Structure 1
Amino acid sequence: MSIIFLNSNSQSFGVIGEPYFSETPATPTSYRTSSTTFSWWYKNSYDDNSGKARAIITKIYNDNQILFTCHVYLENGNVLAFSGYKQR
């Protein structure tokens, strides 16, 4: 997995493991969701920092789009949060 920072031409990259997958079916009042949780052993290209983080990616499937959130929990207690969508 990589997190790329386009403005600074740098990235955090590494391998993932220990995956856990879950899904919730759609109901009359909610959309279908899926979640993937995994460990990420990363290294930064812009400094010598490396470590292990825990990440959770959640997808929400509505009629026209797939919405997503990604939370990366770092060892120092910081949390990186990303969100977006993809047209179907």
Structure 2
Amino acid sequence: MPRSTRVELARLRSQRPLMLEDYKAKVENRAISPCIKCGKHEGDLCHLLRCFPTKPLQKSKLWKDPIGVARALGLATTQFDPGGAPS
């Protein structure tokens, strides 16, 4: 996996990526925006793994199957893969 994907997965494991709405709101010192998919005001890791992939993921997959999680979240999995929306 490319370094950028490994870094993003490490940030997810520590619950400190800008993909998480509650962390982004904390860094930017603002209120949590509602989810664009379900409209809830949750922004934690559980919500991200439940709402954004086409099939909900478990937290343990971050350690057990990082490539599967990267694919589900649309992150690059090979060196020249730009990433993007899951297919």
TM-score when normalising by structure 2: 0.19
Q: In terms of Rg, which structure is larger?
A: 1
Bigger helix share: 2
Bigger strand share: 1
TM-score when normalising by structure 1: 0.19
